[in-house]
A and B are shown apart, each in its own frame.
Chain A
Amino acid sequence: MPDVHSQNAVIRELERQIAELEKSAETDASREELDRLRAQLEAVQKPSSGGPKDAWDRVLLARHPQRPYTLDYIHFLFTDFTELHGDRRFGDDPSIVCGLARFEGRPVMVIGQQKGRDTKQKLFRNFGMPKPEGYRKALRVMQLAAKFRVPIITMIDTPGAYPGIGAEERGQAEAIAYNLKEIPKLPVPILVIIHGEGGSGGALAIAIGDRVLMSENAVYSVISPESCSSILWRDWDHKQDAARGLKLTAQDLLGLGIVDALVPEPPGGAHDDPAYAAELLRPHIATSLKELSTLSEGDLIRRRHEKLRSLATYVVER
């Protein structure tokens, strides 16, 4: 069963985490986490509405503590999920889950970042921030899928790649870079679903594919609005402006040609009805897989390279 908590339990848990953090020493990082938790509390307490949403509203929805996470979608949409662990080099990173499964009877390889709900799970999943071994595990199972001609589905939901000493020592940058170069070579259809937070390179490292779907309230950006505000405005108060300026919503990215299709969510957001959110996603996956499976391996790779070559070409010669 998906571990979606009841409203009150979530509020109590958030309040407890905020109180805990308020007691600890004040650093920029704890302040950012505190800001995040307070915003989540605000989002939970706010009544859902189907009305128009500002970019910042969508950031809050994308981070909503009751939003379905990757394993929830896997539970609703796939059968026979068989989790595969480890990068065969260093370890297993629980912030990325991988496994074989069936989608409407057909074998697929599912890969996605996974966040945790309570404090224990959050720590276990490292807040959904993968380390190099996570990205290497993802590529390993993608290559496994390619060997047996199983289509790949990636599910994106991460604040970003983990910035820590161990991650740097083991080559966080190299792990991401290597994925970006190797994934385009795989001779199987790759479907990317950005359903939560698309946090910069940490998201992109498993978000290269033939077709990119994005949930209505998901966000995808090169930097978090908070960090953008602190670097460009030199304070924490312009995160709303930064969110608007970064053009990080699904609608914006569809317009910029970075995303291929937008997946609708239940009126108040995916957290309102996770099972329904998954059902809204189902036909998009079915159509995309069907379309992509008609292409020959050569065409698939050629088309993918053409698409990547023309991606985000916003230049002018003068």
Chain B
Amino acid sequence: MTWFKKEKKALETPQEKRVQTEGLWSKCEGCKVILWKKDLDANFQCCPKCGFHFKIGSRARLEMLFDEGEYTEHDARLFSTDPLGFKDTKPYSERLKKAEKQTGLSDALLTGEGRVGGKPLIVCAMEFSFIGGSMGAAVGEKITRAIDRCIAQKLPLVIVSCSGGARMMEGAISLMQMAKISAGLARLDEIRKPFISVLADPTTGGVTASYAMLGDLNIAEPGALIGFAGPRVIEQTIRQKLPEGFQRSEFLLAHGMIDAIVPRKELKGFIARSMNLLGAWENH
């Protein structure tokens, strides 16, 4: 028998760690204050002290926006076919299955039809926890179908973006979704029903460079990272540190890229009011 024995313990993955610390308390990423989760829930997942906006899932987003949190989901079972048969350190098909299991979604976007202030509309919300909210064939087709539905039923549209951009594992197929969706929005122009683009933290790459910047109104949540290139890529290209607040909502507002910054708890009211002002539901 040895005096000292090293216990063999399996390597802990960060995910297991996250489960262990999950409890009744949360630390604010903005002001580092410890928050009671129930306070966060009551405040739309925003810090009651500093107003920091936590990321929220697509289901929570739709429940927050629709009257009584009620909506009919569309295209819930629409999956990517893994058109390239892509494989890096593990097969893309496995990444898809894992993300589906974790989120209960078929891909990184949820479409709902429901009412805001009693009036009908379609809302699409991106799911960041599904492969970084990246856009491939399924996201592209779901949004395009949502646009088709808006055109057929003469409904206004809201898309809440929260995404790292186009999905690498679907190569040029992902790139083409930018063209497909943007052309769809050009068709939506013709029926003169408003499209409001809501930009949440983060919205970058091919998502920003297509539908997220194409709203009749582009509105952002406070403090969201919004841009074409990610800050790391820019820093590497220009070889200098980026200024504080670069590519945040407030920076975009100052540079004329968005119409307004709207805190999450005012988002529903803002959408209802501006849709009404634009005549979204006249002659409906």
Contacts and interface: CB of A to CB of B under 8 A. Distances in A.
Interface of A: 25, 27-30, 32, 161-165, 167-174, 176-178, 180-182, 184-185, 200-201, 204-205, 208, 220-223, 228, 231-233, 238, 241-242, 245-248, 253, 256, 258, 304-305, 308-309, 311-318
A315 B83 CA distance: 9
Contact of B172 (A177, A221, A309): A221
A152 to B, nearest CB: 16
B166 interface: yes
A309 B170 contact: no
Contacts of B86: 245-246
Contacts of A181: 182-183, 185-186, 214
B186 A185 contact: yes
Interface of B: 75, 77-81, 83-84, 86-89, 137-138, 140-141, 144, 166-180, 182-187, 205-206, 208-214, 227-229, 233-234, 236-239, 242, 246-247, 255-257
Given A27-B236, A169-B255, A315 B186 contact: no
B51 to A, nearest CB: 24
B77 A232 contact: no
Contact of A29 (B87, B88, B210, B237): B237
B140 A312 contact: yes
Contact of B176 (A245, A304, A312, A317): A312
Given A228-B168, A258-B176, A176 B186 contact: no
B176 A177 contact: no
Contacts of A164: 229, 234, 237-238
A171 B233 contact: no
Given A184-B183, A248-B171, A311 B176 contact: yes
Nearest to B218: A174
Contact of B178 (A185, A204, A220): A204
A223 B185 CA distance: 25
Contacts of A246: 84, 86, 168, 171-172
A177 B207 CA distance: 9
A241 B214 CA distance: 35
Nearest to B227: A168
Contacts of B166: 200-201, 222-223
Q: Most B CB atoms within 10 A — which of A177, A231, A311?
A: A177
Nearest to A170: B255
A183 to B, nearest CB: 9
B172 A253 contact: yes
B141 A316 contact: no
Contact of B184 (A223, A304, A309): A309
Contacts of A25: 239
A315 B236 contact: no
A173 B208 contact: yes
17 contacts: A163-B237, A165-B234, A172-B228, A173-B213, A177-B178, A184-B182, A201-B178, A204-B175, A204-B179, A222-B168, A228-B168, A232-B89, A232-B168, A242-B88, A245-B84, A258-B172, A312-B180
A176 B209 contact: yes
Contacts of B205: 201
A171 B214 CA distance: 12
A171 B257 CA distance: 7
Residue among B77, B87, B184, B206 with max Cβ neighbours from chain A (10 Å): B206
Given A29-B236, A29-B239, A201 B172 contact: no
Nearest to A166: B238
A180 B79 contact: no
Nearest to B148: A309
B171 A315 contact: no
Given A168-B227, A168-B247, A232 B88 contact: yes
A318 B79 contact: yes
A253 B247 CA distance: 34
Contact of A315 (B141, B182, B209): B141
Contacts of A172: 209, 227-229
A180 B175 contact: no
B137 A180 contact: no
B254 to A, nearest CB: 9
A304 B140 CA distance: 18
Considering residues A28, A172, A308, which has the most beta carbons from chain B within 10 angstroms of its beta carbon? A308
Contact of B87 (A200, A222, A245): A245
Contacts of A317: 75, 77-79
Contacts of B84: 245-247
Given A169-B255, A228-B168, A309-B184, 14 more contacts: A170-B255, A173-B209, A173-B228, A180-B182, A200-B175, A201-B178, A221-B172, A223-B166, A245-B86, A247-B172, A308-B179, A312-B172, A315-B79, A315-B137
Contacts of B172: 220-222, 246-248, 253, 256, 258, 312
Contacts of B242: 165
A176 B144 CA distance: 19
Contact of A314 (B80, B182, B211, B239): B80
A200 B81 CA distance: 21
Contact of A27 (B210, B211, B239): B239
A221 B234 contact: no
A10 B231 CA distance: 34
Contacts of A168: 227-229, 234, 246-247
Contacts of A220: 172, 175
B81 A315 contact: yes
